């Protein structure tokens, strides 16, 4: 893990990013002692800013503190280990070397006892300057990537990243968390490695809906002609907005999402309350229902959760949260 990927929060506490597979500009950071903050990137002034310290949740049964990351429930101890302790063997849980020495990072190790090591000596390794994909930002300077999925920074440090939920990830200075295999594919092509995951194809049900929307068909009409429930079509829209260009996604959203939902998102950003989207959907929907408690159209909108879900996705794609 690169030393220059450590950032200090407003109190001067060193923080590292939790390497979850987040492709947007809002990220979760944690100190060695378990203080968690969200970090935001403003694409307009190109400045990073810190959110307030996030209070962890507490499991009612075990009493264990945890946070939500990438829609997963992760213990606070594991979150610290994910950010601060390299995990190159895809081990599942951290443990303490000596329970009496406390929960410091130096007292942690990943619990799988496998001794398998990644051997690179007999493989050809090619290095290239790292170039981010077109939607990635801000710029990441002086980083090189190898055909074997290793990264080298301007200080000469070499890192192979760490595992998060079976994906090998790495947190790069100013760039944030990136998927190592995706970056190898991007720089060296998929023929470079026999184990590469094939390109993901758009499911036919999503492609058919995209084509219908481009022809001006409404969600209601598409549901009727397809013999599907309207709620099912709304659930498809999340994948639709992921698989079209950002401009088209914004245009589609304007045509199908209610003014009430847009009003709610505006109120949240106006009050700088976007931290609520790091919580479970049930929690942020409760807050939005409160904001729109006097809006009769919102109360009778059966698709309000899907609308907010789509707007949240668009905010992420537009790098607002």
**Tens digit of pLDDT for each residue in 161-214?**
888 877 888 888 777 788 888 888 888 876 544 444 445 578 999 999 999 999
Confidence of residue 13 (pLDDT cuts 50, 70, 90): very high
Q: How far is CA 24 from CA 58, 87, 321, in A?
A: 27, 23, 8
What are residue 159's DSSP bridge partners? 151
Query: Which residues on adjacent β-strands are paired with residue 65?
Result: 58
- 118 pLDDT higher than 60: no
Tokens 């481009």 correspond to what residue?
A: 214
| Alpha-carbon separation of residue 159 from 85, 179, 259, 320 (angstroms) | 12, 13, 47, 30
Where do the structural domains in the chain lie, given as residue ranges?
A: 3-110, 127-192, 204-317
Confidence band (pLDDT; 50, 70, 90) for 132?
low
Question: What is the model's pLDDT at position 120?
Answer: 46
Query: pLDDT tens digits, residue range 266-296?
Result: 888 777 777 788 788 889 999 999 999 999 9
Q: How many CB atoms lie within 10 A of CB 309?
A: 19
Residue 39 has pLDDT above 50, yes or no: yes
How far apart (Å, rounded) are the C-alpha atoms in residues 49 and 192? 38
DSSP 131-200: ---TT--S---S-EEETTS-EE-TT--EE--EEETTEEEEEETTTEEEEHHHHHHHHH-GGG-TTPPPPP
11 contact partners, CB below 8 Å, separation of at least 6:
none
Evaluate the omega torsion of the peptide bond into residue 82 and state whether it is cis, within 30 degrees of 0. Answer: no
- The CATH class of 3-110 is alpha beta
Q: How far apart are CA 19 and CA 37, in angstroms?
A: 14
């Amino acid at each position: 893990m690169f030393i220059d990927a450590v950032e200090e929060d407003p109190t001067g506490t060193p923080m590292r990013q939790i390497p979850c597979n987040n492709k947007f500009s809002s990220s979760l950071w944690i100190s060695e002692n378990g203080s968690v903050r969200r970090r935001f990137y403003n694409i307009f002034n190109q400045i990073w800013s810190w959110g307030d310290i996030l209070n962890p949740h507490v499991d009612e049964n075990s009493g264990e503190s945890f946070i939500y990351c990438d829609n997963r429930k992760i213990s606070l101890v594991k979150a610290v280990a994910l950010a601060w302790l390299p995990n190159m063997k895809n081990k599942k849980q951290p443990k303490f070397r000596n329970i009496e020495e406390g929960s410091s990072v130096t007292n942690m190790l990943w619990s799988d006892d496998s001794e398998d090591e990644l051997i690179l000596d007999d493989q050809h390794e090619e290095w290239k300057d790292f170039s981010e994909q077109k939607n990635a930002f801000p710029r990441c300077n002086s980083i090189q990537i190898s055909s074997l999925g290793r990264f080298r920074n301007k200080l000469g440090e070499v890192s192979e990243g760490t595992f998060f939920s079976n994906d090998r990830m790495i947190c790069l200075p100013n760039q944030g968390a990136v998927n190592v295999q995706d970056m190898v594919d991007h720089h060296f092509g998929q023929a470079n490695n026999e184990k590469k995951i094939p390109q993901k194809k758009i499911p036919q049900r999503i492609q058919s809906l995209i084509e219908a929307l481009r022809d001006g068909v409404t969600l209601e009409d598409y549901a009727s002609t397809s013999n599907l429930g309207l709620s099912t079509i709304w659930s498809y829209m999340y994948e639709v907005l992921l698989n079209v260009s950002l401009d088209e996604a914004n245009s589609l959203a304007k045509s199908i999402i209610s003014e009430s939902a847009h009003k709610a998102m505006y109120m949240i950003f106006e009050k700088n309350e976007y931290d609520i989207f790091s919580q479970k959907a049930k929690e942020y929907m409760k807050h939005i229902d409160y904001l729109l408690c006097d809006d009769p159209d919102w109360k009778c909108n059966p698709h309000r959760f899907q609308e907010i879900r789509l707007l949240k996705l668009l905010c992420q794609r537009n790098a607002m949260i």
